[in-house]
Structure 1
Amino acid sequence: MPALALALYLAGITVTFGIRTWMHVRRTGDSGVRRPAAPFGSAPWWSSVLFGTALLLGVVAPALAIAGMSTSSTTLDQPGISAGGFLIAIIGFTGIVAAQTAMGSSWRIGVDDAERTRLVTTGVFGFVRNPIFTAMIAAFAGLTLMVPTWPQFLGLVALVTAVEIQVRAFEEPYLARTHGSDYAAYASRAGRFLPSIGRIKATGHTG
């Protein structure tokens, strides 16, 4: 199962980052990547470091398991759980592609404060404000069930933490500044990562 997890991860990363970026360049002439240099220790810096850590561990963890250098959890290392993890990972990667496609030319990796893109609120975005991140976490969680080792769990924790920082510290504030009342109205009805959970009320508190 670690070999299958590694192959699935590499294929998923190639499609969702590599091919997606290439297609965006072909369609718009722009990569969509917005990762400006961030001051050491800042929220964007931590987000980039943790994302990088998660991406690296996505390769290292199954490779260590294949080499017999990492022991799986005896509780989770079961055929049925591994099969379920494979299905969740497939759904997660498919969800990433679907959400990226729904964003169209507004798709970005990172934030540029000087840029204004269309606020996407239809389709799955009508229920969840960050479906790409939701699908990313689902995919990595599925891979973790396929390779239930400490390095893989650490990668999942790094990814979840990076997503939380990315969304709460600068993506949502950027969208609120850029789209004002339109984003406020949207955020009041669509959940942050799951439907109805993390909606931003008019007072600024989440529910």
Structure 2
Amino acid sequence: MTWLALALYLLGLLLAFGWRTLTQWRHTGDSGLRLDAGPPGTLRWWAKVLFVGALTLGVAGPAAALAGLQPFSDLDHRVLHVVGLVLTVAGIAATLAAQLAMGTSWRIGVDPTERTPLVTDGPFSLARNPIFTAMAGTTLGLALMVPNAVAIVAWLVLVVALQLQVRAVEEPYLIATHGDAYRRYAARVGRFVPGLGRLQRA
């Protein structure tokens, strides 16, 4: 299961970041990558650093298991491993589906000077950040497949990074860019899951 977890994780990274970036570039001439993290120490910078750290820890979890790090015995059960496998595969598929649903508006990162169309249909009618939801689900699945300390920390760090990115970076940008259109959308659609994290309209 450990080798499978590592292979799935690397496949997920390749598809979500490599293949999707290449597809965006072929269709628009723009990679969609907005990697500037801003000044060190800012919330935007921390969100980026934690996100990269989570991705690195995602690889380190299975690698540590292969090196001999023991799993938590309470989580080391075949049923949970299978649940993790299903969640991981579903998460990878959902990540790609949500990325493709963004069309040419897809970006990794935020350019405060850029304006792209606001996507509110498809998976974005269920949650405002379905890509991040799917990524968190993928990492949780991997932590169940390889339930050691590194894999679980990877999931926790990713959740913190995504919360910080959405609340401190993306939502202020979307409000500034789309104004009341985003406020109306955010008032009816949850942040990561349906119904939860809706913004109150002033």
TM-score (norm 1): 0.96
Deviation at 1:34, TM superposition (A): 0.7
Deviation at 1:148, TM superposition (A): 0.6
SS of equivalent residue, structure 1 residue 187: helix
Q: Does 1:175 align with 2:174?
A: yes
Deviation at 1:107, TM superposition (A): 0.2
Q: Deviations over 1:68-118 (max 9, x none)?
A: 1x1101011111100100000111111000000100000000111110000
Q: Does 1:19 align with 2:19?
A: yes
Question: Partner amino acid for 1:58?
Answer: G
What are the residue-to-residue correspondences of 1:1-207 with 2, within 5 Å?
Answer: 1-68=1-68, 70-203=69-202
Structure 1 residue ranges (4+ consecutive) displaced by more than 3 angstroms after TM superposition: none
| Alpha-carbon distance in 1 for matches of 2:37, 2:77 | 43
Q: Which runs of 5+ in 2 are unaligned?
A: none
Conserved? CA contact 1:127–1:189, under 8 Å:
no
Q: Deviations over 1:31-68 (max 9, x none)?
A: 10112142121111111111111111111110110121
Percent pairwise identity: 50
Structure 1's 63 and 122: CA in aligned 2 closer, same or farther, altered over 3 A?
Answer: same
SS of equivalent residue, structure 1 residue 71: coil
Instruction: Count residues in correspondence.
Output: 202
Conserved? CA contact 2:37–2:48, under 8 Å:
no
Question: Partner amino acid for 2:103?
Answer: G
Question: Partner amino acid for 1:128?
Answer: A
Q: What RMSD, in angstroms, separates the aligned Cα atoms of the two structures? A: 0.8
Q: Which runs of 5+ in 1 are unaligned?
A: none
Q: Deviations over 1:135-167 (max 9, x none)?
A: 000000000000111111111111001101100
Question: Partner amino acid for 1:158?
Answer: V
| Alpha-carbon distance in 2 for matches of 1:100, 1:28 | 15
SS of equivalent residue, structure 1 residue 188: helix
| Alpha-carbon distance in 2 for matches of 1:149, 1:168 | 29
SS of equivalent residue, structure 1 residue 34: coil
